[in-house]
Structure 1
Amino acid sequence: MKILDETSRTLNEYLLVPNLTTEDCTPGNVDLSAPLVRHRLGEQSPIRIAVPLVSAIMGAVSSPRMTISLAQCGGFGFIHHNQPITAQAEMVSNVKQHKAGFRHSDINIKPTATLGEVAGLLQAAERDIAAVTDDGTPHGTFLGLISTRDFHPKRHDLNDSVESRMQPAKSLVVADPSISLSHANAMIWDHRLDVLPVVADTGRLESIVLRRDYELHKTFRNETIDSDKRFRVGAGVNTHDYQERIPALIRAGADVLCIDSSDGYSVWQRNTLQYVKGEFGDQTPIGAGNVVDGRAFRYLADAGADFIKVGIGGGSICITRDQKGIGRGQASALIDVVAERDAYAKETGIYIPICCDGGLLSDYHMAIAFALGTDFIMLGRYFARFTESPTKLVRVNGQLFKEYWGEGSQRARNWSRYDQGGEQHLVFEEGVDGYVPYAGSLYDTVTMTIAKLKATMISCGSTTLRAFHENAVLVPVSHQSYLQNTAEIQLRDRPSDPGQ
């Protein structure tokens, strides 16, 4: 037995002490970009992200829509693996079919469908326009567009056909597949369009270009794309069916893989990493974890991990600590692993990024994690709240929520992630099933989170994440410090902060 001479501390137990803010410390000068995978010291990582936020490998979070939206913002998404191999590969392929600015049409309907059907489709997807194709598929023969401006549920008979109210293709401005994005955007503005369909000579719908994507690009500027300007996408894998799943995901176009496990310090993860490196070499980056100390970091680093996730039991939906008694406060875990990462880099010349996964209940916790040295952060609850997550929007006691469940819950039944000795089922739960308050669009809240992170870094005299870590001064927070900030006061009603 060994007892560590420390108190297990969370991110909530630290505050940052401001450093000198210089003339260079302005929001426009702050660079939040981070390496996603291992690289040699002094060289750039093969994959970098402009915004150091990635989505959790969870069925309640990961979807093609979430991954595309996050890539547009400069972040990165991981498609979850708690589904058949073919289904996960199809999701990965769906993302890779999108070039930056050119969208795979995800709201489509047949002309023979009713207005009631298209109204339900648009409401469920929270969109206002759908493509009409002969077979209702994204790449059928393009016949037109129908939007919420073309009919009204109280004015028109919802049993009428879509064809009766749609804008026919012959009346619409369309583009050829050879068009460049800049030319497509020019056409959108010149013709005052919300949607520009891209149609092949055969009449087949290839893709669509949206006016709002142009505005998003101007806001975020650095989308996460590959050399062909397609959005990058990650995929979770397990240590059970990896020899069948991984080749299928690579064929589908996955840019990065990640072994998804509540406890990554295992020979099973080593075997999976060695399989990938032996079969596919360094062209297929794969992350591993989760870990909470330097021993586990070094074990996975030596086995070939391209990034390593930190955190056990600190997620809002996770009850691993309650059920199994394992874990560590997220701040303590990061401090230990960061020290080992930097020692490993000094010894080997190889820098392996670490990902903070869990313990992030507010935006300022993200800032503390970056100050402690994490390279990027993985978020579940944060992204589950948004329109772009795949779960249902429900109303509870008059308030809107999104469904949210852990991968260790009976609802997820992710036995391959939580191997408990059962025959393909969970013996006990390590996650819960519930709801999180609905927070609207991902784009708005990510913009606010980025602004907060930049403001914190400016107060700490830093314009890059590495400088922020190297220069950060942190202080533990006492119980009295908490009490000082909780004096009772009746606040005026105002819009809630979606970043909290």
Structure 2
Amino acid sequence: MAVILSEVSRTLNEYLLVPNLTTEDCTPDVVDLSASIVRHPVAEASPLRIAVPLVSAIMQAVSSPRLAIALAQTGGLSFAHQNQPIGEQAAMVGAVKRHKAGFRHSDINTKPTATLGEVSRLLKAAERDIAVVTDDGTPTGVFVGLIATSDFHPQRHDLNDTVESRMRPAGTLVTAPPTISLPDANTLIWDRRLDLLPIVTDDGRLASIVLRRDYELHKQFRNESIDTDKRFRIGAGINTRDYRDRIPALIEAGADVLCIDSSDGYSVWQHKTLRYAVEELGGIIPVGAGNVVDGRAFRYLADAGAAFVKVGIGGGSICITRDQKGIGRGQASALIDVVAERDRYAAETGVYVPICCDGGLLADYHMAIALALGADFIMLGRYFARFDESPSNLVNLDGQLFKEYWGEGSQRARNVARYDQGETELPFEEGVDGYVPYAGSLYANVARTTAKLRATMVSCGATSLPDFHRDAVLVQVSQQSYAQNGAEVRLRSGSSGGGQ
């Protein structure tokens, strides 16, 4: 007969943290949120760490070079989605890797023959006030000038006139060679009162740009996720079908870490993919795997060489796998089981394999619960989909702003490689297509979320994630505990609970 587990499947929402002693040395400014991303010997540091334990989901509605750069600036990591041709995904990774900290790949470009109307629409859509002009309108073309919203006015100038008629020509502008250092570039920006400094090669081609506003961001975010060449880090999703072609292309593009993107990771197909990366490619790039909900599946993937293991099936806000297939487990129960197996595996083998909590996170405090239960870092879809930097459209519904958001198991995404249902198309959906309330800038929201995490850890007497894993005390919550918090209070205008 079937095995029936005696435990109840519990969610993150069913637990609260019990405060520990907060000492004089335990303050938010000393809390270290940095997290291991890939496997490492127990007594050694992980070769890949991030300053904040937040990564973006491998989803079309979430992944974009713009979001990847912003998240890397704030200390996290993004994963380029794999539900696209290999060349397009590699280009997405390459677009991020072409950025160095402070040296930006130009993403707002136009040709001198374009019209003022065209560039006006371009700037408005990108919410920018300046565009780089190159001979062919590409980010690597011959640099010929700059045009900003201050260079023309729609009511004063004919919008059918060319960009060339109103741009500031290259010969009149301050530029710098690719050999310039970032400190020298920033000095030039401030001394010459520039908003944008073009970096131009000896043959006149645009190499990159340096923005004044990036200097301010760098001063605000000092824990950027960068590689040894000071390029922003980015991960990428892969599947178990075309991995022999996709992985080498992503390595060539500069990806820092990969992750098998699947709704159910306990499969021989993931084992084969991992063995290819470890044995045939020599482990030159770490590959995470998942998703799983118990210790058996964790050990299976860890033994195969998984760099990290993702936990969670059916708990995502956009996922309906449980409704369609009856498969899954409450996210808290899944984490408790997998964390216990991770710790046993580390004790037996001397190798620590990080755990990523993916799904079941509906509020900021759920992240703290997940980390307290033992997760090393957290993968978020809906959370990041709400921000300016996500690639989905901003829409107005009945006077309220929303961002489009859809699951990879929806008919809109048609991610057959992620949801292997034995067909070349999806015969049924495991995700839905909808909207999430617009929340503004990633920078402000991540800062708020990490402030909450630090404050929570201080209340629990922890100043690092390993301390939090070891010392956190949690208690199950009854329905009445929540009912007690539900007394109606009329809030003053502008007051907010501050949730997601």
- 1:249-285 CA-to-partner distances (Å, cap 9, x unmatched) read 1111111110000000000100100011112222210
Name the residue aligned to 1:95: 96
**1:50-69 correspondence runs (5 A):** 50-69=51-70
Match of 2:218 in 1: 217
* 8 Å contact from structure 1 (residues 445, 498) kept in 2: no
Post-superposition Cα deviations, 1:67-107, rounded to whole Å, max 9, x if no partner, equal: 11111111111100100111111111111111111010001
**1:362 paired residue number:** 363
**Distance in structure 2 (CA, Å) of the matches to 1:142 and 1:438:** 36
- The amino acid that maps onto 2:448 is M
Letter in 2 for 1:161: T
SS of 2:480's partner is helix
Deviations 1:35-81 (A, max 9, x none): 00000011010100001110100011111111111111111111001
1:497 offset after TM fit, Å? 6.4
Give the match's secondary structure for 1:5: coil
**Which string of whole-angstrom CA distances, capped at 9 and with x for unpartnered residues, describes residues 21-44 of structure 1?**
111112220100000000001101
Matched, 1:206 2:203: no
> Normalising to structure 1: TM-score of the pair?
0.98
In 2, Cα distance between the equivalents of 1:466 and 1:267? 32
Aligned length: 499
Q: Which residue of 1 aligns with 2:187?
A: 186
Which amino acid is 2:51 matched to?
A: A
The answer as to 2:191 corresponding to 1:196 is no
Q: What is the match of residue 119 of structure 2?
A: 118
Kept in 2, the 8 Å contact 1:448–1:499? The answer is no
Contact kept in structure 2, 1:449 and 1:499, CA below 8 Å: no
Aligned position for 1:405 = 406
SS in 2 for 1:454: helix
Query: What is aligned with 1:76?
Result: 77
What SS does structure 1 have at the residue aligned with 2:5?
coil
Aligned to 2:454: 454
Equivalent in the alignment of 1:441? 441
The answer as to 2:343 corresponding to 1:321 is no
Once the two structures are superposed, residues 387-443 of structure 1 have per-residue CA deviations (whole angstroms, 9 ceiling, x without a partner) of 111111111112111111000000001011111111x11000000001111111111
Q: CA deviation at 1:305?
A: 0.3
User: Aligned ranges for residues 140-289 of structure 1 at < 5 Å?
Assistant: 140-289=141-290
Q: Which moved more, 1:9-18 or 1:209-218?
A: 209-218
In 2, are the aligned partners of 1:384 and 1:402 still within 8 Å (CA)?
Answer: yes
Question: 1:359 deviation in Å?
Answer: 0.5
1:324 corresponds to which letter in structure 2? K
1:34 equivalent in structure 2: 35
Please identify, of 42-51 and 144-153, the stretch whose mean Cα deviation from structure 2 is larger: 144-153
**Residues 410-429 of structure 1: matches in 2 within 5 Å?**
410-422=411-423, 424-429=424-429
Counterpart code for 1:470: R
**TM-score of the two chains, using structure 2 as the length reference:** 0.98
CA–CA distance in 2 between the matches of 1:334 and 1:153?
A: 57
TM-superposed CA distance for 1:149, in Å, is 2.2
Could you tell me how far 1:461 is from its partner in structure 2? 0.8
SS in 2 for 1:400: strand
AA aligned to 1:272 is T
Aligned-residue offset at 1:496? 5.2
Distance 1:499 1:152, change over 3 A: farther
Q: Extract structure 1 runs of 4+ deviating beyond 6 A.
A: none
Q: Distance in 2 between matches of 1:442 and 1:171?
A: 36
Could you tell which deviates more after superposition, 167-176 or 344-353?
Answer: 167-176
Residue in 2 that maps onto 1:310? 311
Mark the CA change 1:101 to 1:308 in structure 2 (over 3 Å): closer, same or farther. Answer: same
Shift of 1:448: 0.7
CA–CA separation in structure 2 for the residues paired with 1:7 and 1:286? 32
Give the whole-Å Cα distance in 2 for the aligned partners of 1:420 and 1:280: 29
Q: Which position in structure 2 is the counterpart of 1:476?
A: 476
Structure 1: gaps of 5 or more residues: none
Does residue 399 of structure 2 align to residue 383 of structure 1?
A: no
Amino acid at match of 1:297: F
How well do the aligned residues superpose, as a CA RMSD in angstroms? 1.2
SS at match of 1:90: helix
Distance in 1, Cα, partners of 2:214 & 2:184: 14
From the superposition, tell whether residues 37 and 407 of structure 1 become closer, same or farther in structure 2 (CA, over 3 Å).
Answer: same
Alignment partner, residue 493 of structure 1: 493
**1:396 matched residue in structure 2:** 397
Structure 2 residue identity aligned to 1:100:
A
Q: Any conservation in 2 of the 1:445–1:499 contact (CA below 8 Å)?
A: no
Q: Which moved more, 1:117-126 or 1:97-106?
A: 117-126
Residue type of the alignment partner of 1:183: D
Residue 227 (structure 1) shift: 1.1
Residue 294 of structure 1, CA deviation: 0.4
Q: Distance in 2 between matches of 1:463 and 1:305?
A: 28
2:338 equivalent to 1:332: no
Moved more, 189-198 or 384-393: 189-198
- What is the alpha-carbon distance in structure 2 between the residues aligned to residue 149 and residue 49 of structure 1? 39
Equivalent position of 2:372 in the other structure: 371
SS at match of 1:149: helix
User: What's the CA shift for 1:192?
Assistant: 2.1
Q: Which moved more, 1:403-412 or 1:122-131?
A: 122-131
- For 2:155 and 2:41, locate their aligned partners in 1 and report how far apart those are by CA, in whole Å: 63
Can you list the C-alpha shifts for 1:89-130, whole angstroms capped at 9, x where unaligned? 111111111111101000100111111111111122222211
Q: Distance in 2 between matches of 1:83 and 1:400?
A: 28
AA at the equivalent of 1:330? Q
Which is further off, 284-293 or 469-478?
Answer: 469-478
**1:128 corresponds to:** 129
One-letter code aligned to 1:322: D
Q: Name the aligned partner's letter for residue 474 of structure 1.
A: L
Between the aligned residues of both structures, percent identity stands at 76
